[in-house]
Structure 1
Amino acid sequence: MSIETVSETKCFGGSQGVYKHASAATGTDMTFQVFIPEHREGDKLPVLWWLSGLTCTHENAMIKCHYHQACAEHGVVLVGPDTSPRGEGVPDDEAYDFGQGAGFYVDATQDPWAQHFQMRRYVEEELPALVADAFPVDMDRQAISGHSMGGHGALTVSLRNPGRFRSTSAFAPIVSPLNCPWGEKALTGYLGDDKDAWRKYDACALIEDGARIDNLLVDQGRADDYLDDELKTWLLEDAVRKAGMEAAIRLHEGYDHSYFFVSTFIAEHVAWHAEKLKA
């Protein structure tokens, strides 16, 4: 599968690249970004997958997260896909929380979304295979993280793929789309009215149904405007407690939902993942 290089820029001794390819999963061109730290020729580096939130493209985290220095220091590759298919003929919605920029990392089953909105297959299967073939990554040392809708994606991708990721983290994740307006709107639109079909896209439901992961870290700001209605971090706290699953869920006074919050703690997350990703 061919990859088009959109740009490559030296950063903290490494390379921040943007790439494009024709996706079989979405039937569209997809853009993704990769930061590769400076390394010796022939080395294979651990990889941290980053999933972004509503309205984001591949670019938001690349510009606003400020992960580069930490990834360079710890020798971790970071890969960030777009949040949905885009382009001519791809359906969209006028609202910010549905359609393009709001793929929710699901495989849609409802028209007109099903033809292109196959983001679960894209992030779980197609993009990892592409990255493994084209970049100096060690696929035996993977971690995953994300923000908001991307935090939901990181949690659910990890829970559905036990053993793939040595560590999982999230910033202000949507922990239960079954129980919030964002999730109800998106999952109804993409998957239909059968809520049993939603459970594989709900972190709390997956844990309730027996899924488990090791090494989970979640950061949430107490001043987040979406905490009470959309994020409901306490539902994840209840789910992991009832399951007897270890998790570090940290609440931070004064922090909101923005990338200012994410950038404050991203270096801690990268260092935490790097420790788990040691050979």
Structure 2
Amino acid sequence: MERIEHRAASGGWQDVYRNASQVLGCEMNVAVYLPPQAATQKLPVLYWLSGLTCNEQNFITKAGAQRYAAEHGVILVAPDTSPRGDDVADAEGYDLGKGAGFYLNATEQPWAAHYRMYDYVVDELPALIDAHFPTTGARSISGHSMGGHGALVIALKNPRRYKSVSAFSPIVAPTRVPWGQKAFTAYLGEDRASWAAWDASELVATATERLPLLVDQGGGDEFLDNQLQPQWLQAACTAAGHPLTLRLQPGYDHSYYFISSFIGEHIAHHAKALYA
């Protein structure tokens, strides 16, 4: 891993690394925040997955998360949201292609060659982080919007891998909303039966671990009614008896102003589980 950024932050270091991903077949950037405790001891890791149009920079520059990670002794890892490079397939619009990997493994061409963000986040990236940084091996996961979808799906599909999971404004039912339907048709094909494996509101019914879900949703979110629809996840969790804390925060929109207002509570939530 080649370090390409190195900045002091909240007593620790906010770095960005570049690595050649075998899974994605391209070079990837990943942001790593090492709190001050990392200089003398091994620490747990919180993985953050960002949303549409984002890369590794959005979370580290806008969320204000470093101060809370330093307070609780948690390493923050924020990868890019899709494969990158001249050979990587792309599409017009912000909601498909580069910047819109949806944290799944594509099966359709031309996407299947590179768009395997699920395997990257679940397997390849944690192996790199654990090999290069002072980690305890304990991990949690969180994310925003498309990344909230990714965090919920990844946690539900990998029982006992994560100590906790949370999401801001997640796409909880991608099979039922335009963002998800467009991406899933392109990446996974027309067979909608295969889509359920990447939909959190479908996965809770068969989850073998009842890992509590923490979801914050802004009441003034411009995408609430047409793209996010948290009621689908709430109904699924009620039917399955799956623990869910869904908090509707009045007035907040879809932006990082919302995330920065509550990221401290989320990191405290994850730290409690990571150190339990």
The TM tier, using the shorter chain, reads over 0.9
For residue 100 of structure 1, what is the amino acid of its counterpart? K
Q: Name the counterpart of 1:5.
A: 3
- Per the alignment, residue 101 of structure 1 pairs with 99
TM-aligned CA deviation for residue 8 of structure 1: 1.2
User: What is the deviation of 1:42?
Assistant: 4.9
CA deviation map 1:147-193 (0-9, x unaligned): 00000000000000011111100000000111000000000100101
Q: Distance in 1 between matches of 2:74 and 2:81?
A: 22
**Which residue of the partner structure matches residue 128 of structure 1?**
126
Amino acid at match of 1:137: T
The structure-2 alpha-carbon separation of the partners of 1:209 and 1:159, relative to structure 1 and needing over 3 Å to count, comes to same
1:37 offset after TM fit, Å? 0.4
Distance change in 2, residues 1:177/1:40 (3 Å): closer
Aligned to 1:114: 112
Name the CA distance, whole Å, in 2 between partners of 1:211 and 1:192. 27
Alignment equivalent of 1:171, drawn from 154, 162, 168: 168
- 2:22 pairs with 1:24: yes
Match of 1:263 in 2: 260
Any conservation in 2 of the 1:207–1:243 contact (CA below 8 Å)?
A: yes
| Bigger Cα displacement from structure 2, 121-130 vs 211-220 | 211-220
Residue number among 44, 54, 57 corresponding to 1:59 in the alignment: 57
Is 2:38–2:134's contact at 8 Å kept on the other side of the alignment? no
Given the alignment, which residue of 214, 221, 224 partners 1:224? 221
- Matched to 1:16, the amino acid is Q
User: Would you say the 8 A contact 1:84–1:101 is kept in 2?
Assistant: yes
Q: What is the deviation of 1:82?
A: 0.3
Q: What is the rounded CA distance, in whole Å, between the counterparts of 1:39 and 1:275 in structure 2?
A: 16
Give the letter for the 2:27 counterpart: D
Match of 2:236, as an amino acid? A
- Give CA-to-partner distance per residue, 1:187-226, whole Å, 9 cap, x none: 0100101112111110011112345442321000111111
The letter for the 2-side match of 1:79 is V
Q: Secondary structure at the match of 1:239?
A: helix
Question: Counterpart of 2:238 in structure 1: which amino acid?
Answer: R
Residue 161 of structure 1 pairs with residue 158 of structure 2 = yes
Q: Secondary structure at the match of 2:105?
A: coil
What's the Cα RMSD here?
A: 1.0
C-alpha separation in 2, matches of 1:103 and 1:40: 31
Partner amino acid, structure 1, of 2:169: A
One-letter code of the match for 2:130?
A: A
Q: Secondary structure at the match of 1:39?
A: helix
Match of 1:188 among 185, 200, 205: 185
Within 5 Å, give how 1:135-154 maps onto structure 2: 135-139=133-137, 141-154=138-151
Identity %: 50
The TM-score, its normalising length taken from structure 1, stands at 0.97
Residue 9 and residue 149 in structure 1: after superposition, are their counterparts in 2 closer, same or farther (change >3 A)?
same
Q: Specify the code of the residue in structure 1 equivalent to 2:199.
A: D
Q: What is the SS of the residue equivalent to 2:114?
A: coil
The 8 Å contact of residues 37 and 70 in structure 2, kept in 1 or not, is answered as: no
- Amino acid corresponding to residue 217 of structure 2 in structure 1: Q
Amino acid at match of 1:180: V
* Alignment-derived partner of residue 214 in structure 1: 211
Structure 2 segments unaligned to the other structure (5+ residues): none
**How far does residue 94 in structure 1 lie from its aligned partner after superposition?**
1.2
Structure 1, gaps ≥5 residues long: none
The answer for the alignment partner of 1:203 in structure 2 is 200
Alpha-carbon displacement from aligned partner over 1:6-39 (angstroms, at most 9, x marks no partner): 0111111111000001000110001000001012
Looking at structure 2, the residues matched to 115 and 4 of structure 1 have their Cα atoms a distance apart, in angstroms, of 24
**Distance change in 2, residues 1:33/1:115 (3 Å):** same
**Secondary structure, counterpart of 2:37 in structure 1:** coil
